[in-house]
Chains A and B, each alone.
Chain A
Amino acid sequence: MSPAILEFDSLSKAYGRLQALRSASFSVRAGEIFGFVGSNGAGKTTAMRIALGVLAADAGEVRWAGAPLDLEARRRVGYMPEERGLYPRMKVGGQLVYLGRLHGMSPAEARAAMEAWTLRLGVAGRRDDEVQKLSLGNQQRVQLTAALMHDPSVLILDEPFSGLDPVAVDVMSDVLRERADAGVPVVFSSHQLALVEGLCDRVGIIRNGSMVAVGSIAELRRTEAPRWVVDAPDAPAGWADGLPGVAVVGLDRTRTTLEVSSTAPGAEQAVLAAALRTGRVREFAPVRPSLAELYRDVVSQAEPPLPSAPPATRGRSRWTRRGDAA
């Protein structure tokens, strides 16, 4: 049997002269939560819509367990579109049962699942209300119920966290983790990078329709030129100059940030030794950039400089473009 992997394989899509996706590839293993990040208009929604068949790709395809994700297979996908969509004048319960049935459930199954999931997501009391009478946050919960209630084998969620209150964010995170633990590949897009960093097993960053980074946060941090920070209060200016394969990329009072481009194991030890020769060393640690920092770094590259943008101090890339490791 083919491995249970959701593969986005070389997707390309143009809207007229706008190239929305340029051969974008990544894959999500069963049981994995994949965070899909990128600027507005980078191509996240386009990729997800192609996966759900509501948009046709110019090239490439989406496969699940080795087979193209066709209509039959898509009924087993839980989908939350970026543009939330429910019938405004239909009651919550009836609407969810209808959507469950479109996914292939029997009336009894759909009713039972609707009852269980509305209870879990805290909208059980609103089953007999029209959707338009609910607050946006509660409509969002109903939308998530619609994506989850048919026990999907794959979850594809476009911005599931936008507009949720902190409690709902926790519920949503728990549900996604639970589904992933049950063996479901989960893909979601988000601009809340701290949340993505905390929740996702792997992350993909898309820019201008191309995947520029794919991997776990640890993998994304592992670069060919790791950075170290040294706090040496007694060190004179230029103390690190002349160290082979080491470049000073930042200085904040007594803290020096260095980029070690040497690939030799233990190359950073030379930096520590040099620092110790200047006197006290209060801190010596690898720089562990947050996803937000990694993201800014990747996305800012090769973009036309804006007049108001801060000077580009980041220099050359700490990144290499990675293929899809999966």
Chain B
Amino acid sequence: MDATRGRGVSARAMGLVAGREVRTRVRNKTFIWTTVVIVVGIMVAGFLISTFADDVVPAQMVGVTAETAVLGPPLVAAGTATGVPIETRTVTATTGEELVRDGTLDALITGDATDPVVVVKTGVGSSLRLSFAILAQQLALDEEITALGGNPAEVAQNVATASLDVRALEQAAPVDESLAVTGMLGGVLIFIAIAITGQLVAQGVVEEKTSRVVELLLSTIRPWELMAGKVLGIGAIGLGQLVLIAGTGLGTAAATGVLADIQINITATVLWVLLWFVLGYAMFSLVLAAMSALVSRQEDVGSVVTPVMLVMMIPYFVGITVGIRNPSSPLVTNLSLVPFFSPFLMPIRIATGTVAGWELALTVTLAVGILPVLVWLTGRIYGNAVLRTGARVSLREALRGS
């Protein structure tokens, strides 16, 4: 059998195995509904954010009488300072009370300007309480200033422009928080996607072992073809799901304008996330496929998957704790260069612009370069272990061969 033909046969075998994985998943109701729920959830979230982002707190309606109309502007200013939009409306005391009672007005200020009375239906709402308190202090202050012979308006002017001289001991990190959050979300998305798809690979390997169908399969194809086909098929599904999710996110953002004010090349960020998913998935799923070939029962899958997941969690937690605050810290920088850790840390460094070109080139090269070694090693473990049912096969036995 010449080499070209051998490659063709292998490609066909892997294609068949991968095709079965894809067909099995896309016909799976749980898979379909999970995907639909995620996609719809992203669109709904984007819509809700865009609807409420501009007008998060509804304006409070406060009635003033002709006598207290002068208190309107300071109240609106106090509201602005505390983040509560306030609108005033001049009414007579009687109609004002009617309007408070039927809810049109949240409060009514009656009495006279120096000694006002606030009329409310049942109590001062939490959003107005602070504004009224500031207004009351302001009135008390004005009274004192007037009593001391000063001009309240002049004092207010001076107070408003007063500021302290600030001397920073260190240069602030030039990191926009929204960029770090975007990068971290990329890392989290990659983590979740690899954890889910990796788990599918592990379960798939053990399912074939438990049902013994692997013996029938391996009488027609080589072990590494079966393993590689499975990894490719599930990876294609995972990537497709990720593209769908990222595409929905981008589309929703574009349609609603949610991310319009974020200083980031969102398309490039998404492409990097997809690339790091592919590289990270390839590394972790091969390891998971080999590890899960060591056990024969679904209930033992956890014992081989957990150690791998723990390794994944190291960069994940470094990313969401240190990485988001200080993406250029030595911890993040050094870990991000380690092949199995790069996929979770690089997105945050890329998004915040704290990565050098050579570092990117190096990590991508390392991740791609380690794959052939990983394929050989995991293929060997898988091939030696996958037909041995019963007790758990030790890693050493699987490496040595039978």
The total of interchain contacts (Cβ-Cβ below 8 angstroms) comes to 61
Across-interface contacts of B215 in A (CB, < 8 A): 49, 52, 54, 81, 83, 85
Partner of B220, one of A56, A75, A83: A75
Contact in complex: A52, B16 (CB < 8 Å): no
A87 near B1: Cβ-Cβ < 8 Å: no
Separation of A71 and B13 alpha carbons in the complex (Å): 12
B279 interface hit (Cβ, 8 Å):
no
Encode contact with B along A29-52: 1 for CB under 8 Å, 0 otherwise: 000000000000000000001001
Q: Please state if A71 and B211 are interface contacts (CB–CB under 8 Å).
A: no
Complex: A190 Cα to B329 Cα, angstroms: 69
Asked if B217 is an interface residue, CB under 8 A from chain A, the answer is yes
CB distance A74 to B214 under 8 Å?
no
User: Is B13 in contact with A83, judged by CB distance below 8 angstroms?
Assistant: no
Residue of A nearest to B5 (CB): A72
Complex partner residue of B213 from A49, A52, A85, A103, CB under 8 angstroms: A85
In the complex, A247 Cα to B289 Cα: how many Å?
66
In the bound assembly, the distance between CA atoms of A215 and B211 in angstroms comes to 36
**Which chain A residues border B392 with CB–CB below 8 Å?**
none
Given A90-B24, A98-B16, A98-B20, CB of A85 within 8 Å of CB of B216: yes
Interface residues in B182-239 by Cβ distance below 8 A to A read 207-208, 211-222
Q: Is the CB of A81 within 8 A of B216?
A: yes
Q: Most chain-A Cβ atoms within 10 A of its Cβ — which of B217, B387, B389?
A: B217
Specify the chain B residue showing the minimal Cβ separation from A81: B215
Min CB gap B137→A, angstroms: 71
In the complex, whether A102 has a CB less than 8 A from a CB of chain B is yes
A86 at the interface (CB under 8 A from B): yes
**A77 interface residue per 8 A CB criterion:** yes
Instruction: Decide if A55 is an interface residue (CB 8 Å cutoff).
Output: yes
A49 to B214, CA, bound (A): 12
With an 8 A cutoff between CB atoms, is B157 at the interface? no
Say whether, besides A102-B13, A102-B221, A85 and B207 are in contact (CB < 8 Å).
Answer: no
Query: Is B265's beta carbon under 8 Å from chain A?
Result: no
Closest chain B CB from A257 CB (angstroms):
46
Q: Is there contact, CB below 8 Å, between B220 and A103?
A: yes
On whether A146 and B211 interact (CB within 8 A), knowing A98-B20, A102-B221, the answer reads no
Known: A84-B212, A88-B211, A102-B16. A52 touches B219 (CB 8 A): yes
Contact flags A216-229 to B (C-beta < 8 A → 1, else 0): 00000000000000
Contacts of A102 in B (CB 8 A): 13, 16, 217, 220-221
> Is B402 located at the chain interface by the 8 A CB criterion?
yes
Q: What residues of A have a CB within 8 angstroms of the CB of B220 in the complex? A: 71, 74-75, 99, 102-103
A245 contacts partner chain B, Cβ-Cβ < 8 Å: no
Shortest distance between the CB of A187 and any CB in chain B (Å): 14
CB neighbors of A among B1-24 (8 A): 1, 9, 13, 16, 20, 23-24
Using Cβ atoms and an 8 Å threshold, which residues of chain B touch A15? 402
Min C-beta distance of A308 to chain B, whole Å? 30
Q: Which residues of A approach B to under 8 Å, CB–CB?
A: 15, 49, 52-56, 70-72, 74-75, 77, 79, 81, 83-88, 90, 94, 98-99, 101-103, 146
Q: B interface vs A, CB < 8 Å?
A: 1, 9, 13, 16, 20, 23-24, 207-208, 211-222, 387, 389, 402
11 additional A-B residue pairs with CB within 8 Å, beyond A70-B1, A72-B9, A87-B207:
A15-B402, A54-B215, A71-B220, A81-B216, A83-B212, A83-B389, A94-B23, A98-B16, A102-B217, A103-B220, A146-B216
